Amino acid sequence: MALSNQQYESIMKRYEQTRLANRQTLEERQQTVYARIPAYRELERSVGSTALSRARALLDGDDSAMTAMHDFVEDIRRRKEALLTEAGFPADYLEPIYNCSKCRDTGYIDIPGQAKQKCSCLRDQEIALLYEQSNIREIISRENFSTLSYDYYEDEDLDRFRGAVKISRDFVQNFIQDYANLFFYGTVGTGKSFLSGCIANELLHAGHSVLYFGSSRLFDLLATYTFGTKEKETLYNFYNDLYNCDLLIIDDLGTEMTNSFVSTQLFSCLNERQIGRKSTIISTNLNLAELRDRYSDRVFSRVTSNFTLCKLTGPDIRMKRKLSNVHMSE
């Protein structure tokens, strides 16, 4: 799922509003200059007829006309700048105004012989929208690869975490060319959600669409939209995002109230995303036997056959951090 047409159009509308605002500012500056420097306006008025005669000479084959035109334009530029600076204005006060000089507030850069390329300012706005709709902005501000630490792990727990980190980094590096899914499971507070956040941060920054849901919230929303009499269009749009985003993260699977509706929705989601070759990450405190017993053989089969399984074990890191902070404050 890239940006929707509506989201893209909203960005283009902002560019249009920016250009309009800058044109209005430039027009106001021109009126100010004309009022304070009458000679500037007179100079501009005299330029037209002179430029026209130079152009005619150029068309008539006058070999010196090109040089004369260049000298004329340069002389006018210097005289305008002199008038502005003498009156206390910056020399470039009446130059076109752009928030982004690279694309001139269009979002695209023209490259001779090539298709237009998206400007970095457009990419920044797209990424900002992707972060906003991902539901994960606050999480990845503190959970990303730059804050990763192995200090809380030992022995076999450390080996497992190192292995999961490598799998996570490879998942990000090969995301475009390799379809893959991850299933983080194990004891509470061992880094499952943390690694999901690390991956989300990297992919969002690269411009991919990511949706993050805690399991309870996801199935509550699906129930609301499914059974709400006025929510059919919302349900359709929600399914479209759920099935087609580049990466879906379902965090803390098993914390929801599990029933036949949840099992059916989970299978449908996994099945549709597999058909579309859209990646999914699931984190859960359930073990594999609990996963099979709690949901269905179909869900269990989808996970065990189409996901890379990453088991994490060890002490509750969140609790250890809290205790460490308490000791440091004493």
Query: Strand, helix or coil at 194?
Result: helix
Which has the higher per-residue pLDDT, 90 or 152? 90
Domains annotated on the chain, with CATH: 5-100 (no CATH), 135-329 (3.40.50.300)
pLDDT at 327: 41
Is 90 exceeded by the pLDDT of residue 14? yes
CB 262 within 8 A of CB 294: no
* pLDDT tier, 269 (very low <50, low <70, confident <90, very high otherwise): very high
Confidence of residue 169 (pLDDT cuts 50, 70, 90): very high
Task: Quote the pLDDT of residue 196.
Answer: 93
What's the pLDDT band for 150 if we cut at 50, 70, 90?
confident
- CA 143 to CA 146: how far, in whole Å? 8
pLDDT tens-digit map of 79-110: 999 999 999 999 999 999 999 999 999 999 98
pLDDT digits (tens, 9 = 90+) for 203-259: 988 888 888 889 998 998 888 888 876 667 777 778 888 898 899 999 999 999 989
pLDDT at 195: 94
Residue 28 buriedness (CB in 10 A; 0-12 / 13-18 / 19+) = exposed
Q: Give yes or no for residue 117 having a pLDDT over 50.
A: yes
What is residue 71's predicted lDDT score, i.e. its pLDDT?
Answer: 78
pLDDT at res. 295: 93
Q: Determine whether 58 is exposed, middle or buried from the number of CB atoms within 10 Å of its CB (0-12, 13-18, 19+).
A: middle
The mean pLDDT value of the chain amounts to 85
pLDDT for position 204: 84
What whole-number distance in Å separates Cα of residue 302 and Cα of residue 278? 14
Decide: 110 and 116 in contact? Cβ < 8 Å. yes
Average pLDDT over residues 306-322: 83
What is the share, in percent, of the chain residues with pLDDT greater than 70? Answer: 84
> pTM of this prediction?
0.64
pLDDT band at 118 (very low <50, low <70, confident <90, very high): confident
Closest CA to 225 of 239, 240, 213, 215: 239
Per-residue confidence (pLDDT) for residue 320, from 0 to 100 = 63
pLDDT digits (tens, 9 = 90+) for 270-280: 999 999 999 99
Q: HSE-up of 48 (CA within 13 Å, CB side)?
A: 4
Containing 232, the helix (H) or strand (E) segment is helix 232-244
For range 190-202, the mean pLDDT = 91
Bigger pLDDT: 4 or 186? 186
Task: Look at residue 133 in the predicted model and tell me its pLDDT.
Answer: 63
